[in-house]
Structure formats: C-alpha cells, structure tokens
Amino acid sequence: MSFIHIKKAWSLSQNDITGEREFIKRREILKKLASSSLVFAGSSFLPYSVYGSANSFYPPPVNKIYNVNRELTKEKYATTYTNFYEFGSNKNIWRKASKLKTKPWLLSIDGLVNKPLKIDINDLIKKIGGIEERVYRFRCVEAWSMTVPWAGFPLNKIISLVEPNSDARFVKFETFYNPDVAPGQKQKWYPWPYQEAITIEEATNELSFMATGIYGKELPNQNGAPFRLVLPWKYGFKSIKSIVKISFVKERPIGMWEKLAPKEYGFWANVNPNVSHPRWSQATEQQLGKEERIPTIIYNGYAEQVSDLYDNLQNKLKDKLFR
Ligand code: MTE
C-alpha cells in the first residue's frame, strides 16, 4: 500500500509456499460429500481439496449465479501471498497470523440500528441460515489479482437482522486490536485498528459478501479469519479482515489507508483501468501464479451489478470514485 514497493513480477518464492494440500480425486470428494448432511447444490467437481475442516458448515453449497470466466487461483498462492498489515508489511505473514485465536470470536453490531447484537460468529452463521460458496474476482490496488471461491453470506442478511434506522447512511467495519498477538500493531504510525466503510446502498448490493471461508474450508487466519468483508468490484483494501465490530453511522468514516494517504486511497476505491493510482497504472493486472498481465476491467467486471450505485455521483466525484 502506501509504503509498499510494487515488484514488477508477482514474487512468491518456492520457500514461501506451504505444501499444497493433496489433490483429491473426484470419487473421494463425492464419497465425502455423500456422508455429509449438507445438501451440495454445486458442480460435481471441486478443483480444490475439501479436507481439513472439522466445521459442519463446510464445504458449503455452491451458488452458481456467482461465477466468472477465469481460472481459479491456486489455493497455495491465495493463502500464502496475503496483505494483513497487523502481522507485518510483507506478503509472507501466514505463519505469524496463525497466532491469532479465532474461536470464540465475538462480533458486535451497533450504532443506528433497532436491534443491536453481540454474537459469536458461529451463532451468527446459524442465525442467518448457513453459508454458500461464490466465486469472485478480487483485484488489489497494487495491481495483482486472484479468482477464489469464498464461503459466507450476503452482508444484506446482517442488515435485515439488526434493522438500521433511517439516519444510518454508512456501515463501518473494524478489525481486532491486539498488539501482543499482531506485531504490526506495535507500529504506531498506522492508525489502528484497521477500519473501512461503505454506504448503506453498497452494503445492500447483492455482491457485498461476508466471507467465513475460502476453497471449501474455514478461512485461514492470514485471509482474515474468522470473518471478513469481500467487495469484488472495489480494490482489495476495502475488503477488511478479521472483523470484530460493525457500526451503522450517519457521517462518512475514514478508512485506515485513507487516513494515511488520502490522495492515493480514497473512500470509493472502485476498480477502473482508466484511472491510475498516482504512482502506477491500473490498466492491467497480474493474476497470482501467472506470468502474463491481463487487462483490468471497469468495476472489476461487475458493472452490471454495481454501476447503478454510482450513476448519480459520476459528475460530482469523477475519478474520486476510482481511487
Ligand atoms: N484487512 C486488515 N485488517 N488488514 C489488512 O492489512 N489488507 C487489505 C484487505 N484487508 C488488510 C485487510 C488489502 S490491501 C487487500 S489487497 C486484501 O485484504 C487482501 O486480501 P487477501 O490477503 O485475502 O488476498
């Protein structure tokens, strides 16, 4: 981010990679699924391992509406090349992040709502009626990207539960604060805790997703366990990890990166190949694990679902919408 030097090629060395989980043949997957009580509405073949989770929510049924015409990023890349500044400013923090205790995990939802809530994340999943899998594109502001199957539920389900009142205009999210576990939080020049926000209209958009899992399993800590936001049409820094608090507020909150470098990281941060970051182009992106760069697409390919949100704002905000 503001302090990151972007390497030209995506740069995961062999040493950074965990041994990829053993590939499981179709027959074995089906056997496992047959013994599970979950109804599996997805395709008959999963391109990743479904082993390794003791949690009965996994693997979740696949929501086929949300798919993309891109190859899935290999699990080992998506889970070992991660941004999580609480654990350090490089990408290789997955070992450090394993120290975070995610069970139990209390989430508070407060602010301008009729029914505030303090609830453990597992109880929230049950209350909401379970989780589903969606494949989304994900585009970091640093110009790398991935395509991954997230598990979770639409943010809209939380909104229905807590019933925001008519003064609530923004939804604010906060990550945990615990410098004893997360050494990055000892670096005082960052305005911890990590914070992000979106408008209520963005929050109720069908794409706004609360992820609890990835690749058919619970999220590993480095990807934001146990509970993170995923906004596939926005630059990745909006998709805040390991959330402990959601607040419904009237005034627009300022996110951590916006506080640090407002000219580089704005509030809207919608993906747009035509609006450069002040220090680099956003025209193309490098998919994790691939050599060649591909063109970046406006709203990261989700214009059909989200461009309405911004039609009235276009003239007023121009390229602020995309930074
Ligand atoms: N959330 C917290 N709490 N801390 C972070 O450093 N990094 C953001 C976002 N959410 C970050 C965060 C950035 S810059 C990106 S690109 C994505 O997480 C990366 O998600 P991934 O590591 O799962 O790919």
Ligand 1 atom showing the smallest separation from residue 214 Cα: 23
Are 232 and 302 in contact by the 8 Å Cβ rule? The answer is yes
Check: CB of residue 287 under 8 Å from CB of residue 73: yes
Average pLDDT over residues 101-107: 98
Per-residue burial over 9-20, b = 16 or more CB atoms within 10 Å of its CB, e = otherwise: ebebeeeeeeee
CA distance 255 to 78: 24
Residue 314, domain member (yes or no):
no
The total number of structural domains in the chain stands at 1
Examine residue 319 and state whether it is found in any structural domain, yes or no: no
pLDDT for residue 7 is more than 80:
no
Q: Would the pTM of this model clear 0.95, i.e. be above it? A: no
d(CA 318, CA 69): 29
> Alpha-carbon distance 148 to 41, whole Å?
18
Q: pLDDT-derived band of residue 54, with 50, 70 and 90 as boundaries?
A: low
The reply to whether ligand 1 has any atom less than 6 angstroms from the CB of 211 is no
φ and ψ of 290, to 5 deg: -115, 150
Task: Tell whether the model's pLDDT for residue 40 goes beyond 70.
Answer: no
Cα 256 to ligand 1 centre (Å): 12
| DSSP secondary structure string for all residues of 189-242 | TS-SSPEEEEEHHHHHSTT-EEEEEETTEEPPGGGTTT-EEE-TTBBGGGS--S
Atom number of ligand 1 nearest to Cα 241: 1
**What is the average pLDDT value for the chain, to the nearest integer?**
87
- Given a contact cutoff of 8 angstroms between Cβ atoms, the answer to whether 93 and 81 are in contact is no
Which residues pair with residue 175 across a beta bridge?
243
Average pLDDT of the residues in 8-30: 35
Maximum CA pair distance of the chain?
Answer: 56
pLDDT tens sequence across 70-94: 999 999 999 999 999 999 999 999 9
Over the stretch 181-206, which tens digit does the pLDDT of each residue have? 999 999 999 999 999 999 999 999 99
- Whether 182 is covered by a domain: the verdict is yes
What would the pLDDT profile of 266-284 be if each residue is shown by its tens digit? 999 999 999 999 999 999 9
Q: Is residue 313 part of a domain?
A: no
Residue nearest to atom 11 of ligand 1 (CA): 84
Taking CA atoms only, the protein residue closest to ligand 1 atom 24 is 82
User: Is any atom of ligand 1 closer than 6 Å to the C-beta of 84?
Assistant: yes
Cβ atoms of 102 and 220 closer than 8 Å: no
**323 occurs within a structural domain:** no
CATH number at 54 reads 3.90.420.10
Q: Is residue 301 assigned to a domain?
A: yes
206 Cβ contact partners less than 8 Å away, ≥ 6 residues apart: 154, 156, 305
In a domain, 8, yes or no: no
Ligand 1 pocket: which of 12, 83, 86 to mutate (most atoms within 8 A of CB): 83
* Contact between residue 109 and residue 246 where contact means Cβ atoms under 8 Å apart: yes
281: containing domain? 14-307
Extract the tokens encoding 275. Answer: 């609006």
Instruction: Say if 6 falls within a structural domain.
Output: no
pLDDT at 317: 80
